Amino acid sequence: MGFSKRQLFNASQNQVASFTKVLGHPARIAMIQHISENKDCNCNALVEKTGLSQPTISQHLGEIRKIGLLKQKVKGKNLFYSIDLDQLNECRRVVNDFFVKTQVNCNK
């Protein structure tokens, strides 16, 4: 795997890149949408909804968790997921600010 050289970029650039990388996969978008529509969703429900394998779903959940977008709750032997609304709002703000500032710069 290649070296990303993240240290060459500022914190804001790295944060936008992290958020958009997670959102850059259609399976993750579908999973986030499903979790937002179905509180306390587990991996099995996502397998059923998407048709992807359990290991693939688990790998995608791990990527979504890296940016803090998911809350986890343990019930018995299962993990259930919901959207962390505070982090969702932060993600929206960061990505929106990037586009707004880019647009302003284009209009100078």
Q: Please give the structure tokens belonging to residue 91.
A: 């993600």
Residue 4 lies in a domain: no
Q: Please give the structure tokens belonging to residue 11.
A: 């914190």
Q: pLDDT tens, 63-76?
A: 999 999 999 999 99
Q: What confidence score (pLDDT) does residue 7 get? A: 87
Q: pLDDT tens, 40-94?
A: 899 999 999 999 999 999 999 999 999 999 999 999 999 999 999 999 999 999 9
Residue 88: which of 19, 11, 10, 14 has the closest Cα? 19
Residue 36 lies in a domain: yes
Residue 6 lies in a domain: no
Domains in the chain, number: 1
Three-state SS for 10?
coil
Q: What confidence score (pLDDT) does residue 2 get? A: 53
CB neighbour list of residue 17: distance below 8 Å, 6 or more residues apart: 9
Residue 56 lies in a domain: yes
Residue 1 lies in a domain: no
H/E run at residue 87 = helix 85-106
Q: By residue range, what is the domain housing residue 96? A: 11-102
Q: Please give the structure tokens belonging to residue 72.
A: 């986890």
72 conformational bin, left if phi > 0, alpha if psi -120 to 50, beta if neither? beta
Residue 96 pLDDT more than 70?
A: yes
CB neighbour list of residue 99: distance below 8 Å, 6 or more residues apart: none
Q: Residue 91 is part of a domain; what is its CATH number? A: 1.10.10.10
Give the span between the Cα atoms of 26 and 82, in whole angstroms: 18
